[in-house]
A and B are shown apart, each in its own frame.
Chain A
Amino acid sequence: MDLDLSFYNWALFTSYLQKGLIFSIQLTVIATIGGIIVGTMLALMRLSGKPWLVMPATIYVNTMRSIPLVMVILWFFLLIPLMIGKPIGINLSAIITFIAFEAAFFSEIVRAGIQSIPRGQVYAGQALGMSYAQNMRLVVLPQAFRNMIPVFMTQTIILFQDTSLVYAIGAYDLLKGFEIAGKNFGRPIETYLLAAVTYFLICFTLSRIVRRIQQKVAIIR
């Protein structure tokens, strides 16, 4: 069994992988930011206590969590063109899908984070005369978000891994870049191996960073 890695050089990177890596990173970043924003809204809806807010949010979150991600990707790719009346680009469909999907997971993280803030903090805010919105904005959310940063980052690493599933609709992400490179050079074995090593190095490094940050960021009570 001989591996020939001689073809792996900068030219390969710029011609095949760069485009894919950029899209994977774009997708991860946009889905994280969008997912946190929408997820926070969903979490607040679920915690509001008003049935007309709680029900739709709960249904949304539970639905997204019960369906395989590949199916969600296929669903959005099918439905969005039907709803807007014209075809949609693969990349844009992927972005919208991931924001919508990750929002469900981020909302669970935000919900748990808010609920982990001791009730005493909420009472203190109320005793000072704050409204619900002020309490949330000035007391609860700042503390909750600071606690949640390591969990957000872990979720982002998982998100980055999940972006490889856009393979299902043929999007050009990092994995696709490796695959096409492998086909063009006739060396699929080396490229899939390199793909695994690359993803491993990225994710492992990020998870080490998260562990480092976890120790620094926690609020000491």
Chain B
Amino acid sequence: MTLDWSVFCKDTLTGEAAPRCFSFLFGMDPNADPTYLDWLFTAWGWTLSVAGLSLVLALLMGVMIGTLRTLPPTNLLNKVFAFLGTVWVELFRNIPLLVQVFLWYHVVPAFFPVMKSFPSYLLVSIALGLFTSARIAEQVRAGIQSLPSGQRNAAIALGMTTTQSYRYVILPMGLRIIIPPLTSECMNLVKNSSVAFAVSVPELTLFAMQAQEETSRGIEIYLAVTGLYVISAFSVNRIMAWIEKKSRVPGFIAPSASGSH
């Protein structure tokens, strides 16, 4: 079986070979029809955008919810927060991601009409972000609970309020500890962004499906798409490794906190 890579230089509208492989993407010729290569890279851009947006939402909500679940049950408000955190996590962990995407695309806008005007990539990002936030919350919870209880005690003994103890003592160390499971969660998020095809976001997976149908050169198309997914996940891995290096505490050997599956 021979691979014919020239498909990428084909014009997407006419199916013929285009003069340049990158036609309009990098401003070379704004009037030309896009080639499959242009389309591939535009799709990659969509994948990265959805992933990026989801990641921001997932981190914000995940750290917040994970922290809420570790609050000491000393008063009613803390217990309520902890319960809400548990509800959040169980809700988003027990419904498949694809079903959640459909919920945000079909069901929620019916209850909140303002969302009917939201573009589909935004709704997918919300779905993916909240789905991932539940998993990140569990990792944050595990990380915080792996800290020696004396750390919290020491902060409180110095007169810090609960908020201060989390901000200056518990979270700085807790978040450092969970960088490894957080890394694999971020890589999962990039892979999970593929679910956006179901609501017609023009990302890599949808490109793979459509381009394969059009050109019948499935293997080449799939290889390119797969390659870009692998590169994206690998880049995330390297960025997290850089963050880990930058935030390393001299002389500290972390207790291992394996994030839950």
Chain A positions within 8 Å of B, measured between CB atoms, are 1, 66-71, 74-75, 78-79, 82, 151, 154-155, 158, 161-162, 164-165, 167-168, 175, 188-189, 192-193, 195-196, 199-200, 203-204, 207
Contact = CB atoms under 8 A, between A and B. Distances in A.
B208 A71 contact: yes
Nearest to A78: B218
Contact of B99 (A66, A78, A82, A192): A192
A79 B233 CA distance: 24
Given A70-B205, A71-B194, A75-B222, A199 B95 contact: yes
Closest 5 CB pairs of A and B: A203-B94, A68-B194, A161-B96, A68-B191, A164-B96
B226 interface: yes
Given A67-B191, A68-B191, A200-B94, 9 more contacts: A67-B226, A68-B193, A78-B219, A165-B96, A193-B107, A195-B102, A199-B94, A204-B90, A207-B94
Contacts of B95: 161, 196, 199-200, 203
B195 interface: yes
Contacts of B166: none
Grouping DSSP codes into helix (H, G, I), strand (E, B) and loop, the B interface class, with mixed when no group exceeds half, is helix
Given A71-B225, A74-B209, A74-B222, A189 B99 contact: no
A69 B191 contact: yes
A192 B261 contact: no
Contact of A165 (B94, B107, B195): B195
Given A165-B195, A199-B94, A204-B90, A71 B99 contact: no
B202 to A, nearest CB: 15
A196 B261 contact: no
Contacts of B1: 82
A71 B107 CA distance: 27
25 contacts: A66-B187, A67-B226, A68-B191, A68-B229, A71-B225, A74-B209, A75-B222, A78-B212, A78-B222, A151-B261, A155-B261, A161-B97, A162-B96, A175-B96, A188-B106, A189-B110, A192-B102, A192-B103, A196-B99, A196-B103, A199-B94, A199-B95, A199-B96, A200-B94, A207-B93
